[in-house]
Each structure stands twice: as C-alpha cells, then as structure tokens.
Structure 1
C-alpha cells in the first residue's frame, strides 16, 4: 500500500509538472499545478464528507449484524456447512478445533463480519499448523482454506452497500444478487483449482524451512487453542436442502435481480431483527451496541480515505487517469470491462483500502455514479473479492509459513473467475 500510494502521488505530480513546464501563462483557465492543488483540496474535503455519510449506514448494518450474531445466526450457518467442510478437508479430523475455527471464519465472512472473521481465520491456521508435518510449508488444507477464504460466498457485502448509500445510490443493495452470483462462482473455481493444483506441488520433496524454531505447543503437549467444543453439524439432508436453496437463488438473481433489489434492505432489517427477537435477544440494546462499533469503524477509516482519495484526486486532476482510461478502455470495454472496472479488478487483490478509496472516487464521479453499469460492476467487484495478498501475508505470517505452494495460484484463479462472473451478471442485469 505504501508503494501504491506513493506511486499515485508521484505519477500525478510528474505528469502535472510536465504540463506546467509546457503551459503558457495567460491562457484561459488555471495552470496545471493550480488545478492539481485545487483537486487535492477538494478530494480531502470530499473524503471527510464521504466518511461521515458512511458512519450512519455502517452503524445500521453492524447493529443488525450484532443482533443476528447474538441470536446465533453465525452458529446456524456453521452447522449448515459442516457436512460439506468435512468432505472438503479430509485431512482434518472432524472433531479437531481447526474444523470449528474454519467453519466460524467462513460463516462470518458470508455475513460480512470482517472483524469477526479474521480472528477465527488466524485461529484456524494455528490449529491447522498443529497438524502440519512440515513446519514452514503450507499443507493442502491450508491452501484450500485460504483459497476459499479469499473468494468465499458473500451474502451481505456490508461496507460496499454502506458506501453506495452514502453517495446517494437509489438502490444501494442492488449488488446483493450480483455479489452472490460472483462469489459462488469464484469459490467453486477456487476449490477446483486448489484440488487440481495440489498434485503438482507435492510436499514430499520439500523439507521444513523452520526446523530450528521452538514449536512450543507440539513439543510440550499443550492443549490446542480454539473452541474446546467442536461445532456440531445438522443432518446431511438439511445442509443439502440449504445448498440447493442457495443454488436456486442464482437463477432468481439473474431473472429478477432488478425487481428484487428494492426489497432487500427493508426485508433484511425486518428479518434480522425478527430472528433476534424470536431468539430472545434484547434487540434494541444489542443493535445499539453493534451500531456503536459501526460508528467507531466509520470514524477510524477517515484518515485512510483521505489519503487514497487525495492521491486518486491528484491522478485525475493531472489527466494521467484519463489518459490511461482512454488508452485501454476501447479494448477491455469490448468484453464488458471498462477501463475503470479493470483498474478496480487489478487493485482489489493488492490493496483493500486502495480499492475502497478508488471505488469511492468512481461512485462520487458524476459521469459514473453508483447506479450506472460501471458503478454497479465496480461495486460488485469490491464486494465479491478479497485482498488476496493481504490475507495470505497475515494468515501465513501468523504461523510463519514461507512456502505457500499452490495457494497463491488457486486464489488468483478464483479472483479471475470472480471478475468474469461479475462482468457476466452485471452485463446481463444492467447492460454495458
């Protein structure tokens, strides 16, 4: 992110400096450098306004998520996907703490609970490392788990909906259907890729790269971290029915996505509050507690948005972004991927905050807006993909894995599949 941020500023300044040298004083309009200065100030002010606008919507969604979590929705999802997980990960014992942590991580991701998903994910990696015969080398289970994690099915892309609402979208939840379609496709491809590629990178010929480390818990026989009680699953037929229902939602979103989207937010709020109320949750108090967390998060991201939006604003004011779009736009647009969306697709796996800031700048652009094809496509790309390199660095870094084997390849293949699926579904529903 440091290099990306610095590169944006440097490119914008360099292009503007060249224009300033060639500029003839006295011509109409401000000088290129003055235009760049004005763009920086406007972007800084706009980023704070945008952040404040996001606070309310973020508080709303995290309040609802807190009610659902307290009501046990996370556990319900975990029990639904357990029968599938034990088949996907045959190397992990069904009653091992790693299985429970992985299930909770993926369930939290599905609900858009990023803050809850990360601790579960790191705990899962630590537990998987206890089953690792070659310390420092990623196992097949680790690679598959991270491939799924970076492309996992998303039911509620909370932050993107909040961003769309804050910039005045008439249908902020319109991307729920497109995100579900894209993430289901990307997850399926990521699983197949991880299973296929693992045979081309066997562990047998690799030796542990961390043999000298003190592997405390294994050697001392300490109990494993994580849930002491495994997450029990529902009967297989229940999970099968749930999976079929999820699959049935995909053609429904293709055929009726535009008609359904206005119902989503009211139904989501009513449904989650009803679920919590029936489960005995004090919905008002819990909602307020979750909303408070949303408020804190909304305030916390202001410096990050200021940094990236000022950098993007400089790039736009300098004319460099327009030149880049004009150069490759005609080529990628033929396939339903305008240059702006291509930039988002490339940026998303590299930098989450960078992609968020870039998306914000696009949605605020009057020529694009949140409800046009480009706005919906880039919103779907943001909501249906993950910061692949960041996740690999954090999760593998937590257990000091140096040889990731086929993990990155499987994750990037899943990312590519998600891009293709997002373009297809957005083009089908909203046109190019």
Structure 2
C-alpha cells in the first residue's frame, strides 16, 4: 500500500508540475485545492457511514446472538469451505462473509460494507501476521471487488429517474458480468498468493474465549446445494420484478432478523444498541485511511493524470466494441464511488447516449458489476490495521478488468 499511495500522489504532482511549467497556470493551485477538499470531505463521508454502520452492525449483533450467523455458516460450510479452506467451517467469519456476499447479491452496497468489515475482523483473529493480509483476507477482498449482483438497485433507480422504458434491463448483463469477474477474482487470488508470501511467523491459535463450546459440525452438503438452488431460483424473479422487489429487501431483513431474535429469547433492543455502538467506533477508526486514499484519488483526477492514462487505452479498445465512455466509467469506478455515480448520471441524461441505448445499458452494467477497489481496500484493511496488502490489489484490479470485458460481452449477448 505504501508504493500505491506514493505512485498515485507522485503521478498527480508530476503531471500538474509539467502542466504548470508548460503554461498551464493554476495547475498546482488546483491540485492543492483538490487535496485539501478531499481531506475535508473524508470526515463527512466517514460520519455519513456511522448511521449505516450502526444499523447493520446492530442487526448483525442480533443475528449473532440468535444463532443466525452460526446456522448460516453451518448451512454453507461445504461450499464456503472450498473457497476458504484455511477458515474453520463453522467459524463466525464464515457467517459474516455470507452476509456480506448476500448484501452484494441484492445490491445493498451500504449494508455490504459493515458486514464485510465484521468478516474482516473475524478473519484477522485467524491471521498470524497482524499487519499483513492473509490469503483468506486477500481472497475475500477480491470477491468484494467482483461483488456478484442479482439486483443493482442504485443503477435501476437511476435509470428509472432518467426516463428509461425498461429500468431493469441491466439485471441480466450485470449478473453475467459479476459471475465472470468473481470466478476471475478467485482464480487470480489463488494464483497470485504464492508470488506474495507472508513473512515467516509462528501461526497463532485463536483464543477460545469467544467460543467456549465446541462448534457444531457442518450440515450435509446437500443442504448447501439446496440453498444455492433456491438462490438461483430467485434470479428470474428478480429479473422480472427486481425494480419493485428491491424496496422490500431492507425492511424485510430488519423484520426477519429482529423477529428471529425474539423467537430465540434475545434481548433485541439491548443487543442492537451494542452492535450499533461498534459501528460508530469502526466508522471513526477508518477516517485516517479514508483521508489518505481520497486525497490521492482527488489529486490524480484533478491533475489530469487519470485522463492521460485512459485516453490512449480508449483508442486501443474502441475496435473491440468498448466505447471511450465505458473505459472512463470503469477506471473511475475503481477509484471513486460518488464520482463514478455522478458520471453515470450525466451519461444517462445525455441525449446522445440516454439510458436505453447500448452504451447507456453498458455503462449501467459496468457500474453495477464493479466496485471501488481502492476504497474497499482502504476501508476493509484499515479497519483491522493491515498495512501490507500482498496480492489483494492485483487480484482486485484483474477482477475489475475481467468485469469490464464481461460486461461488454454480456451486453452484446443480451441487448443487441
């Protein structure tokens, strides 16, 4: 992360300095202003996450106390165990990762973040190198950048607001693209792991204080496959009625978790408040990491270095059927969630593109099938104090590239 941070800022300063020397008056002043504004904006962004963190970590605390997380881990242990063989089958990390993946599947980006941070905290307890990412943590982060999505809620909402005749047209290509990027993320993380070995250390055994009783055995694999089949069965329903059903997800989740907690005699109010308190602490803890990554990205954009990188690539990819707007969207999406969403909104309202053209659907698919890789890396690793990310960034960027190519292929297959 040290090298990445320096390269982002160094490239921005060099480009702005060259522009200033060659007559671009105000380039360095603009760079300074962008850096200061980004630093100021990091704190409101983190504080804006407090409410979301408190809500969903409160719900997750209730789910943990009621046994939902453990039951979910047991149900999907045969499947998740293949992806994360280093994690005990019924460890709380399994359940937290499942909740994170489920939130991404349903397009609940805000909910996925606190679930992901909780999963990273559990994985950190199994990590013998506390400042260095473990293989499961790197794989989990790569899967988050791929973020398999059935219902890209924000894109559907934006398309509807832009006057689209079929706001849900992005569901099928987004699902196809994210499935491809997820497979690539898994493959890349597995292949790159031996090339970035962690430092030698004596493995640490997790304390049994949190789990004094021996964990129950995993359920038979057939139950996990049935759960997967049920999930696949939801896909056609979401494809047809996704725009309407999307508004039911969060209220349904709240009622379901709290109701189950009541049936298990959990003091849901006190438990929810305890979890919400943890959400506030996490949101405050990640502020320094947000400041660092947001300042670097803002300087890169302000200096014009990002455009200098993407413009030549756009000319190379045009013969492959990838319009320049798509490459710009993909590049900005990896760096900034708010920036890429604003760019998508401007494209959707551009009469030359619009929401229902091939390019418009492709741009929505790219946004819905990718993630802000640098932001996720800073937040997830920052929350647990990891400074050496090993192969996590490389695997995430490879997944982003695969998602872009898969989005183009999916839109060609489903739209044209």
Q: In the alignment, which residue of structure 1 is the partner of 2:76?
A: 81
Which SS does the other structure have where 2:90 is aligned?
A: helix
For 2:70 and 2:119, the matched residues in 1 are separated by 13
1:232-265 deviation per Cα after TM superposition (whole angstroms, max 9, x unaligned)? 2335543332121012233334444334323322
Q: In the alignment, which residue of structure 2 is the partner of 1:229?
A: 214
Q: Cα gap change, 1:329/1:106 in structure 2, threshold over 3 Å: closer, same or farther?
A: same
Q: Cα gap change, 1:299/1:239 in structure 2, threshold over 3 Å: closer, same or farther?
A: same
For 1:274 and 1:285, the matched residues in 2 are separated by 14
Match of 1:118 among 117, 120, 124: 120
TM-score by length of 1: 0.61
Paired residues in the alignment total 363
| Gap runs ≥5 in structure 2 | 103-111, 129-133, 162-167, 349-354
Q: In the alignment, which residue of structure 2 is the partner of 1:11?
A: 11
1:285 Cα deviation from its structure 2 partner: 1.9
1:313 Cα deviation from its structure 2 partner: 1.8
Q: Cα gap change, 1:264/1:286 in structure 2, threshold over 3 Å: closer, same or farther?
A: same
1:110-157 deviation per Cα after TM superposition (whole angstroms, max 9, x unaligned)? 36433442354466677xxxxxxxxxxxxxxx9899757843896899
For 2:337 and 2:290, the matched residues in 1 are separated by 11
Q: In the alignment, which residue of structure 2 is the partner of 1:107?
A: 98
Match of 2:262 among 274, 277, 282: 277
Query: Is the CA contact 1:75–1:104 (under 8 Å) kept in the aligned structure 2?
Result: yes
Is 1:33 aligned with 2:28? yes
Q: In the alignment, which residue of structure 2 is the partner of 1:339?
A: 327
Is 1:66 aligned with 2:61? yes
1:417 Cα deviation from its structure 2 partner: 5.5
| Counterparts of residues 16-415 of structure 1 (less than 5 Å) | 16-23=16-23, 31-84=26-79, 88=82, 98-101=88-91, 103-104=94-95, 106-107=97-98, 109-110=100-101, 112=112, 113-118=115-120, 120-121=122-123, 150-151=142-143, 229-332=214-317, 334-335=321-322, 338-343=326-331, 355=335, 358-363=336-341, 367=346, 374=363, 377-378=366-367, 380-382=369-371
Q: Cα gap change, 1:2/1:413 in structure 2, threshold over 3 Å: closer, same or farther?
A: closer
For 1:170 and 1:302, the matched residues in 2 are separated by 34
For 1:281 and 1:177, the matched residues in 2 are separated by 39
- Range that drifts further, 279-288 or 224-233: 224-233
Query: Is the CA contact 2:171–2:239 (under 8 Å) kept in the aligned structure 1?
Result: no
Q: In the alignment, which residue of structure 2 is the partner of 1:350?
A: none
1:23 Cα deviation from its structure 2 partner: 1.8
Query: Is the CA contact 1:43–1:309 (under 8 Å) kept in the aligned structure 2?
Result: yes
Which SS does the other structure have where 1:100 is aligned?
A: coil
1:290 Cα deviation from its structure 2 partner: 1.7
For 2:42 and 2:203, the matched residues in 1 are separated by 46
Query: Is the CA contact 1:105–1:121 (under 8 Å) kept in the aligned structure 2?
Result: no
Which SS does the other structure have where 2:217 is aligned?
A: coil
